[in-house]
A and B are shown apart, each in its own frame.
Chain A
């Protein structure tokens, strides 16, 4: 007898849409909590916390498994969603001359594929701007701090006690300590880096062994991208457009989730008079609050520039 596969039937495809969608919803919570550190913590402490967090997200084995599940979910959700959208168009080759879909269904529910495609474009640019820099790029500056130091010594000529002020450059390392790697030349005001990193690794000049690993300064990348100057890195000239694009994308996500959150429960067969109200209220609240919280982060960064 026929036994429809768990991949081939229309219903099974909907289960996968719902499961991947719900997984991405949980991913959003984690991602948001991470991002909120950008505005809840300030100064060197905030920068350090964020860069350490970004490093942790890329190196913890459990997080890595979740990250791969997220990549697969996005790909599967997007491919399957677009495939279904094409199939659904084909199911009505001849359109109505006069149609009033607004009379019986919500707008968001009818534009899921378009909203999803916009989200996909956002995800691609987002990953190019931040994910690529954190995970792949070699040229991203590391987390350096400048520390004022006072050196006491004897003038070799006169034998007098002298104190000299200078600025030391230290790299934050994964051991949690700041590691001196150079100084600022007091005459030229140029940075003199004595221990140059290879990627994120600092090698001992004598032995050639890796002495310490630095953190990529993703915090500065983000701040500069959204218009704040930090660490003398060039700020994004188009920051205002980056902020606007980000905010619009979050509105798109809001509409996608406005229908998607509740819809996923229906797809999985979780429709019960007792719980529908709860699912709907939680779903709509989630759809509004989460994208809004995402969206205020670049706005606040930009306004504090």
Chain B
């Protein structure tokens, strides 16, 4: 198939640093291959900017194959753009029309402050993980092999589905309340479903929710936007599971 090229207009959020006031700037970019990914298009824009001796646009990226969760971007009013089940690095320019104006903004949330241009600080997620998103295994050399503990297929599958969360933050970005419930519930669920995780389940959910609240994320109102925009299709069932886990924990924690 012969590849097509399109010309596009871009409206991109530019912000010098965390403390400066940013604004939407307009750019014109010609000859964008429809086979290129959204990030490759931004590379092309940056090349053009560098040639014009202008500051390139800062944006996050790493693996560029949808597994690391580093890329972000609120594209044309949707997290990771108009496509479903993909990250921005997996989004293709063939999803856009010739002559289209494309809005590109950083994730917007009090808990995700902008560092520069389209790059936001997502360390709030790390701190939530550090508050309890792990299993405290004995690492003194006497650890037992995980496979010696039997796990039912259905539970294992659900745990695995939850564990596919890449921590990109699209759920927060798209949520009208900037709530982190889908992310936190995925991280709670992947462990709560497994025998290894159940030992610390109660304290884990209490600590992670506490950290989530302290980071300044909003409260879930079950609009379901996160599930739709999540590149990994993390289900709202995980939020319900976390609500159950938390209820159990506040009723029964010692």
Given contacts A14-B220, A271-B237, contact A97 B11 (CB under 8 A): yes
Asked if B222 contacts A109 (CB within 8 A), the reply is yes
Collect the chain A residues with CB atoms within 8 Å of residue B221's CB. Answer: 84, 88, 109, 112, 263
Asked if A92 contacts B108 (CB within 8 A), the reply is yes
Taking chain B's interface residues, is the majority helix, strand, or loop, or is none over half, making it mixed? mixed
CA–CA, A1 and B242, complex, Å: 19
The residues in A between 96 and 116 inclusive whose CB is less than 8 angstroms from any CB of B are: 96-101, 103-106, 109-110, 112
B224 at the interface (CB under 8 A from A): yes
B240 at the interface (CB under 8 A from A): yes
Identify A104's interface contact among B109, B174, B245, CB under 8 A: B174
Asked if B177 contacts A4 (CB within 8 A), the reply is no
CA–CA, A104 and B203, complex, Å: 33
Asked if B224 contacts A106 (CB within 8 A), the reply is yes
Asked if A104 contacts B228 (CB within 8 A), the reply is yes
Collect the chain B residues with CB atoms within 8 Å of residue A106's CB. Answer: 223-224
B160 at the interface (CB under 8 A from A): no
The residues in A between 1 and 19 inclusive whose CB is less than 8 angstroms from any CB of B are: 1-6, 9-15
The residues in B between 232 and 254 inclusive whose CB is less than 8 angstroms from any CB of A are: 236-237, 239-247, 250, 253
A94 at the interface (CB under 8 A from B): yes
The residues in A between 112 and 157 inclusive whose CB is less than 8 angstroms from any CB of B are: 112
Collect the chain B residues with CB atoms within 8 Å of residue A99's CB. Answer: 74, 77
CA–CA, A192 and B216, complex, Å: 70
Q: Which residue of A lies closest to B237 (CB)?
A: A271
What number of A residues sit within 8 Å (CB to CB) of B? 46
Asked if A97 contacts B178 (CB within 8 A), the reply is no
Contact with A along B154-177 (1 / 0, CB 8 A): 000000000000000000001011
Q: Which residue of B lies closest to A266 (CB)?
A: B222
Collect the chain B residues with CB atoms within 8 Å of residue A189's CB. Answer: none
Identify A88's interface contact among B209, B210, B218, B244, CB under 8 A: B218
A270 at the interface (CB under 8 A from B): yes
Asked if A105 contacts B176 (CB within 8 A), the reply is yes
CA–CA, A100 and B244, complex, Å: 31
The residues in A between 67 and 113 inclusive whose CB is less than 8 angstroms from any CB of B are: 84, 87-88, 90-101, 103-106, 109-110, 112
CA–CA, A12 and B206, complex, Å: 11
Contact with A along B1-29 (1 / 0, CB 8 A): 00000000001010000000000100000
Contact with B along A28-71 (1 / 0, CB 8 A): 00000000000000000000000000000000000000000000
Given contacts A97-B105, A103-B78, A104-B174, contact A91 B241 (CB under 8 A): no
CA–CA, A222 and B224, complex, Å: 41
Collect the chain B residues with CB atoms within 8 Å of residue A105's CB. Answer: 176, 223-225, 228
Most buried by A among B105, B108, B221, B253: B221
Q: Which residue of B lies closest to A271 (CB)?
A: B240
CB distance from B58 to the nearest CB of A (A): 17
CB distance from A152 to the nearest CB of B (A): 74
Asked if B224 contacts A97 (CB within 8 A), the reply is no
CA–CA, A110 and B246, complex, Å: 25
Q: Which residue of A lies closest to B243 (CB)?
A: A269
- The 7 A-B residue pairs with the shortest CB-CB distance, nearest first, are A100-B77, A271-B240, A91-B218, A269-B244, A88-B177, A269-B243, A104-B228
In the complex, 7 of the A-B residue pairs with CB atoms within 8 angstroms, ordered by the A residue number, are: A4-B206, A5-B250, A9-B210, A13-B219, A91-B177, A103-B228, A112-B221
Query: Which A residues are within 8 Å of any B CB, using their own CB?
Result: 1-6, 9-15, 84, 87-88, 90-101, 103-106, 109-110, 112, 259, 262-263, 266-273
